[in-house]
């Protein structure tokens, strides 16, 4: 697998990812979604196969949009969540469908990006949120780095303090931190403004 792989290694491991994916974290996403307007627009960044996150949001009646850089993941997402709008593109360059969202969710994706790309995506997400829109993303609360177990690529969490600073600079604030049954941390941020 080369470093110029547009899917960042995910096309090569799509089948393994789908087989290993569980519903861990779905309860966090569903709780977060209660803060969104009923039927609101939600963007799932790094949507993968759509199971379980996209499928549960669609089942709750949200208008779902998904992006993922892996062609095999997006194909599965389109099969699993046919009512959603999907695009095969990376978060770093996506135009986020040229619209604003009531909520943006990014589970298991942000920490896969280099530090500068994480900062840029956070700023872009903030601009794509409606006023008082919510952004839920997963990353360890502590600053750390590790090798992704599926792709073998470097992953890094900037840590709670750095994420808070980036979000504040983008006009958002962290309103909650949660941990799922698998030990994964989630940051819940809200866009400030009217």
Asked whether residue 9 is domain-assigned, the answer is: no
Number of domains in the chain: 1
Asked whether residue 10 is domain-assigned, the answer is: no
Asked whether residue 17 is domain-assigned, the answer is: no
How far is Cα 37 from Cα 6, in angstroms, rounded to an integer? Answer: 34
Q: Provide the token pair at 40.
A: 């609101």
Which whole-number Å values give the CA distances from 186 to 57, 99, 100, in the listed order? 17, 24, 22
Asked whether residue 45 is domain-assigned, the answer is: yes
**What's the CATH number where 159 sits?**
3.40.50.150
How far is Cα 101 from Cα 164, in angstroms, rounded to an integer? Answer: 21
**Domain limits for position 47:** 24-191
> What pTM, to 2 d.p., does this model score?
0.88
Asked whether residue 46 is domain-assigned, the answer is: yes
Res. 97: pLDDT tops 80: yes
| Mean per-residue pLDDT of the chain | 89
The predicted model gives 114-125 an average pLDDT of: 97
pLDDT of residue 84: 98
Backbone angles phi, psi at 7, to 5 degrees: -90, 5
Asked whether residue 59 is domain-assigned, the answer is: yes
Using CA atoms in the order 104, 109, 114, 116, what is the torsion angle rounded to 10 degrees?
A: 0
Which of 2-16, 32-46, 57-71, 167-181 has the lowest average pLDDT?
2-16
* Residues 8-57: tens digit of each pLDDT: 555 555 455 444 555 667 899 999 999 999 999 999 999 999 999 999 99
- List, in sequence order, the alpha helices (H) in the chain: 14-20, 26-33, 53-59, 71-80, 115-128, 160-169
Asked whether residue 7 is domain-assigned, the answer is: no
Radius of gyration of the chain (CA): 15
By C-alpha distance, which of 143, 132, 83, 136 is closest to 105? 136
Asked whether residue 15 is domain-assigned, the answer is: no
Q: Provide the token pair at 144.
A: 């750390």
pLDDT of residue 108: 87
Angle between helices 160-169 and 115-128 (to 10 degrees): 40
């Amino acid at each position: 697998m080369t470093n110029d792989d547009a899917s960042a290694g995910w096309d090569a491991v799509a089948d393994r990812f789908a087989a290993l994916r569980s519903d861990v974290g779905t309860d966090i996403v569903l709780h977060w979604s209660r803060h969104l307007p009923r039927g609101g627009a939600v963007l799932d960044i790094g949507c993968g196969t759509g199971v379980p996150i996209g499928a549960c949001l669609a089942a709750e009646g949200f208008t779902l949009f998904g992006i993922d850089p892996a062609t095999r993941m997006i194909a599965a997402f389109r099969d699993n969540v046919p009512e959603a709008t999907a695009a095969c593109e990376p978060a770093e360059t996506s135009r986020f469908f040229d619209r604003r969202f009531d909520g943006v969710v990014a589970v298991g994706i942000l920490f896969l990006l280099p530090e500068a790309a994480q900062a840029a995506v956070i700023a872009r997400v903030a601009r794509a949120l409606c006023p008082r829109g919510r952004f839920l993303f997963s990353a360890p609360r502590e600053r750390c780095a590790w090798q992704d177990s599926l792709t073998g690529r470097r992953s890094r969490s900037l840590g709670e303090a750095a994420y808070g600073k980036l979000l504040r600079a983008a006009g958002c604030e962290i309103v909650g931190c949660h941990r799922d049954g698998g030990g994964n941390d989630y940051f819940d941020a809200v866009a400030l403004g009217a």
